[in-house]
Amino acid sequence: MNPGDRIRVETDSQTFEGILLPRSELEDEDHITIKLDNGYNIGISIREGHIEALGTEEHLQVFPEIELEKKEGLPEISMIATGGTIASRLDYRTGGVHMLMEPREIFFTTPELAELVFLKKVISPFRVGSESMTFKEYPILAELAARELNEGVSGVLITHGTDTLHYTSAILSFMLQNLHKPVCLVGAQRSPDRGSFDGAMNLICSSITAGYSNIGEVVTVMHGETSDTYCSVLRGTKVRKMHTTRRDAFQPINGKELARVWPSGTIEYLSDYRGRNDTEVTADTTLQEKVALLKAHPNCNPELLDFLVDNHYRGVLIEATALGHLPTDTVNPEYSWISAVQRAREEGVHIAFATQCLYGRVNPYVYTNARLMFNLGVLYMEDMLPEVAFLKLAWVLGHTENEEEVRQMMLHNYAGEITMRSPVERW
Amino acid sequence: MNPGDRIRVETDSQTFEGILLPRSELEDEDHITIKLDNGYNIGISIREGHIEALGTEEHLQVFPEIELEKKEGLPEISMIATGGTIASRLDYRTGGVHMLMEPREIFFTTPELAELVFLKKVISPFRVGSESMTFKEYPILAELAARELNEGVSGVLITHGTDTLHYTSAILSFMLQNLHKPVCLVGAQRSPDRGSFDGAMNLICSSITAGYSNIGEVVTVMHGETSDTYCSVLRGTKVRKMHTTRRDAFQPINGKELARVWPSGTIEYLSDYRGRNDTEVTADTTLQEKVALLKAHPNCNPELLDFLVDNHYRGVLIEATALGHLPTDTVNPEYSWISAVQRAREEGVHIAFATQCLYGRVNPYVYTNARLMFNLGVLYMEDMLPEVAFLKLAWVLGHTENEEEVRQMMLHNYAGEITMRSPVERW
């Protein structure tokens, strides 16, 4: 039997029925994977099961195609496809999930786009799942987005896996200097073969945002509620994936929604944003590779920081507890981080703290513990998300290692990542 | 001039006025710290400022004391004081923040307690700020709580700093086996010298919970709203500090409030809980020290895991992205975690994944990436919070290193840490 065939597998304890998927290069030969009717894939050991072929489902093999035509009066946008659920489709001949390979294919899941915008280009610079993104991919995205915007499109869509979509929106917010057009990160929490597919509405709303909105920032455009009502346009530096599966997983943190966009075309602006104009954008993409992120917790051992210093890391973002604390108690000296932080600082390693609470702001002035770290030159990242502060540190250290310049840049508000008073919109 | 004196400091740019605090052992001699009238402390370099003494504020030196008397008919509770803002008071003679040293002192901030419960004992086993807690302190708390409950009190209060209060509520949930009385973790987000002090109401509501409620679990009892309306009683394994300063910072994650408690004495039960009875509780306190927590992010280097394996760590909890993913892409082989995880597993290191989204559930069956990790024996921690899964791993590995036993224990629901369907109460 072949991938795409419907099969039934009987094991000692259970019976599974679904479509046989092609074997991934990551899987060994003792296992097969089938897509169950509920949309989930399951891996089963062949050794323990009896397999029965149920035939190929003919009706699934036909996939609609539509023609693209440039329509007068529609705004032009470009799309950069990086991978992820949004830019995938189930190939029913093989049962496998495929990346979209051609511009036209995006219309398979969302034909309505053709009425809204003219999709000038779909660029697929690499295929990397969002959980595997590195500092190699970010500059490529920034350069492409800048090029497309400077060539005159109204906005750019970047289709992206949702795992790290908010990391990418943050780093692009720093890299795209003098940005005055919308760059929309868009993804899907559910795959196109499922009834609950959210990618179509997200694509429609992000196209409206890219083509028609007045917002000149890097934003995420994802479901604002679990139902198909509207999408929330969220600032790229103030957003986080807060749920594994909910369609409204992307939530504003220490910030407000910039706008809500309805698939009908309505845009409701809800807070201040940088406006749209035709100024040239530049991509400022140098990153320092040797930057790490650590999270503080009870019994956390400072030897982790020592290891990073030994291995020539230049910056470390620490998710400190609450207002920005690390263990310092002399009662448990072997777990105190004072010496390790002091040594790191002496060796010129830049250390920044953000809060693992996520909401709220670090503050070195309340407790002695924090003032001590502050006096060692630890940078307190205000109300920045840890993920955002981590990427900002890598970006800043790509530009300078001068102590005072690093401090100034880290505490400079480039893209709304620091607010003086953090509104908590949803709680 | 002496600590406790009111002083004015003039620097080139600013003037500060407040109470001189005693110099901490952590501070150098060039700095002084003053408590400003808004309640915050600020450190100032002496070299650059001119200091003027404004005298001692006499009226602040008197502190009320009340007598304790055992009242018939009131439930008996015991209190374990560990430190933190809740168990502190500003000594206006010296200006310093002091731990409560005697049982009676808790009534200084909250005299109403005497009408509600009979405080049989206040035990102060150690003084460690909550950001500095280690695996040495947890067994002490569990042993003391078990002893007090078995000696007949209705419930136990543990006053605690808020930074890691939810870590402590989680580990005690695992350590206190066969628990059928309330063990209430209680803290304060604002200090007793501030008008917005929340500790008094939290103490009252936690005393009501410990003395009168039917709940036989480890819970946190903290403000349910920013105003002084009621406290939320939250399951110790399903709670997290989600804001640095808000009084309602403690929020249920993947769980519902167990109850609301009003200072008037009303208890409103909102979801299922383990009930109260007089069965003996046992403290099962063995922890494996060599357990670490890592957080995945773009460009995260697997050498961190290698370092832990080299250093004989026995378990690692990884905050994976979304449904439980780590970088595996062959496009960026030097950042793929496959070899490092494989090596760790071959050397018998137990690896568990929880989601950095916090809300929702990890699931190894959706994407190939996760199935691969699952096939390497990575444990997928369902809807457990990363912090909870980290502590559970340390507790489980304190009992066994047998592969199958570890798996069974990690996926066994001991204290409501795993739910089959996670309600999202607040969003």
Cα separations in angstroms, A4 against A10, A54, A94, B364: 18, 11, 4, 22
pLDDT for the residue numbered B63: 31
- What is B76-283's CATH number, 3.40.50.300, 3.40.50.1170, 2.60.40.10, 3.40.50.720? 3.40.50.1170
The answer on pLDDT for A292 being more than 60 is yes
**Nearest CB to B322 within list A138, A162, A294:** A162
pLDDT for the residue numbered A146: 97
Cβ contact B40–A366 (<8 Å): yes
Q: Give yes or no for A322 touching B (CB within 8 A).
A: yes
pLDDT for the residue numbered A29: 72
Beta bridge partners of A49: none
CA angle, B165 as apex, B200 and A371 as ends, to 5°?
90
The answer on pLDDT for A427 being more than 60 is no
Mean pLDDT of A8-17: 84
Residue whose C-alpha is closest to residue A147's, from A174, A173, A183: A183
Contacts of B25 in chain A (CB under 8 A): 330
Q: Which amino acid is at A357?
A: C
Give dist(CA B85, CA B97) in Å, integer: 9
State both tokens at A303: 């030897």
Rg of chain B taking only CA atoms, in angstroms: 24
Contacts of A390 in chain B (CB under 8 A): 297
The answer on pLDDT for A60 being more than 50 is no
Contacts of B303 in chain A (CB under 8 A): 311
- What is A291-411's CATH number, 3.90.1150.10, 3.40.50.620, 3.40.50.40, 1.25.40.10? 3.40.50.40
Residue whose C-alpha is closest to residue B388's, from B416, B417, B359, B366: B417
Q: Which amino acid is at A385?
A: L
Q: How many CB atoms neighbour CB A331 within 10 A?
A: 17
Closest-CA residue of A relative to B254 is A243
Q: Tokens 């997983």 — which residue?
A: A249
Q: Of B422 and A57, which is predicted with more confidence?
A: B422
- pLDDT band (50, 70, 90) for residue A32: confident
Give the residue from A368, A385, A419 with the most B CB atoms within 10 Å of its CB, the best one to mutate. Answer: A368
State both tokens at A97: 């999930």
State both tokens at B41: 């402390």
Give dist(CA B336, CA A132) in Å, integer: 7
Cβ contact B328–A128 (<8 Å): no
The answer on pLDDT for A45 being more than 60 is yes
pLDDT digits (tens, 9 = 90+) for A154-176: 999 999 999 999 999 999 999 99
For chain A, give the percent of residues with pLDDT over 70: 86
Q: Can B76-283 and B291-411 be said to share one CATH topology?
A: yes
Q: Tokens 């059928």 — which residue?
A: B180
pLDDT digits (tens, 9 = 90+) for A370-415: 888 999 999 999 999 999 999 999 999 999 999 999 999 999 999 9
State both tokens at A384: 């920045």
Domain boundaries, chain B: 5-58, 76-283, 291-411
Distance from CA of A298 to the nearest CA of B (A): 5
Please, which residues 280-319 of chain A have a Cβ atom closer than 8 Å to chain B? Answer: 289, 291-301, 303-304, 307, 311, 319
pLDDT for the residue numbered B344: 98
Cβ contact B127–A331 (<8 Å): yes
State both tokens at A426: 């949803």
Cβ contact B363–A427 (<8 Å): no
Helix (H), strand (E), coil (C) string for chain A: CCCCEEEEEECCCCEEEEEECCCCCCCCCCEEEEEECCCCEEEEECCCCEEEEEEECHHHCCCCCCCCCCCCCCCEEEEEECCCHHHEEECCCCCCEEECCCHHHHHHHCCCHHHHCEEEEEECCCCCCHHHCCCCHHHHHHHHHHHHHHCCCCEEEEECCCCCHHHHHHHHHHHEECCCCCEEEECCCCCCCCCCCCHHHHHHHHHHHHHHCCECCEEEEEECCCCCCCEEEEECCCEEECECCCCCCEEECCCCCCEEECCCCCEEECCCCCECCCCCCEECCCCCCCEEEEECCCCCCCHHHHHHHHCCCCEEEEEEECCCECCCCCCCHHHCCHHHHHHHHHCCCEEEEEECCCECCCCCCCCHHHHHHHHCCCEECCCCCHHHHHHHHHHHHCCCCCHHHHHHHHHCCCCCCCCCCCCCCCC
Contacts of A372 in chain B (CB under 8 A): 26-27
Yes or no: say if A129 and A84 are a contact pair by the CB < 8 Å rule.
Answer: yes
Cα separations in angstroms, A201 against A189, A217, B259: 12, 21, 38
Beta bridge partners of B45: B31
Give dist(CA B321, CA B295) in Å, integer: 9
In the residue annotation, A85 being an active-site residue is answered as: yes
Yes or no: say if B350 and B308 are a contact pair by the CB < 8 Å rule.
Answer: no
Helix (H) or strand (E) holding B149: helix B137-150
Parallel, antiparallel, or unpaired: how do β-strands A88-90 and A97-99 relate? antiparallel
The residue ranges of DSSP E strands in B46-139, in sequence order, are: 50-56, 76-81, 88-90, 97-99, 118-123
Give the residue from B135, B243, B378 with the most A CB atoms within 10 Å of its CB, the best one to mutate. Answer: B243
Cβ contact A164–B321 (<8 Å): yes
In the residue annotation, A248 being an active-site residue is answered as: no
Yes or no: say if B150 and B178 are a contact pair by the CB < 8 Å rule.
Answer: no
Query: Predicted ipTM?
Result: 0.85
- pLDDT band (50, 70, 90) for residue A219: very high
Cβ contact A241–B357 (<8 Å): yes
- A vs B: CB pairs below 8 A: 255
pLDDT for the residue numbered B29: 72
Helix (H) or strand (E) holding B261: strand B259-261
- pLDDT band (50, 70, 90) for residue A65: very low
Q: How many CB atoms neighbour CB B127 within 10 A?
A: 14
The answer on pLDDT for A59 being more than 50 is no
The average confidence (pLDDT) of chain A is 88
Write out residues in chain B with pLDDT < 50, as ranges. 58-67, 93-95
In the residue annotation, A328 being an active-site residue is answered as: no
Give dist(CA A182, CA A155) in Å, integer: 5
Cβ contact B242–A131 (<8 Å): no
Beta bridge partners of B31: B45
pLDDT digits (tens, 9 = 90+) for A264-286: 999 999 999 999 999 999 999 99
**Nearest CB to A244 within list B167, B311, B362:** B362
pLDDT for the residue numbered A84: 75
pLDDT for the residue numbered B57: 54
pLDDT for the residue numbered A193: 73
CATH 2.30.30.520 corresponds to the domain A5-58: yes
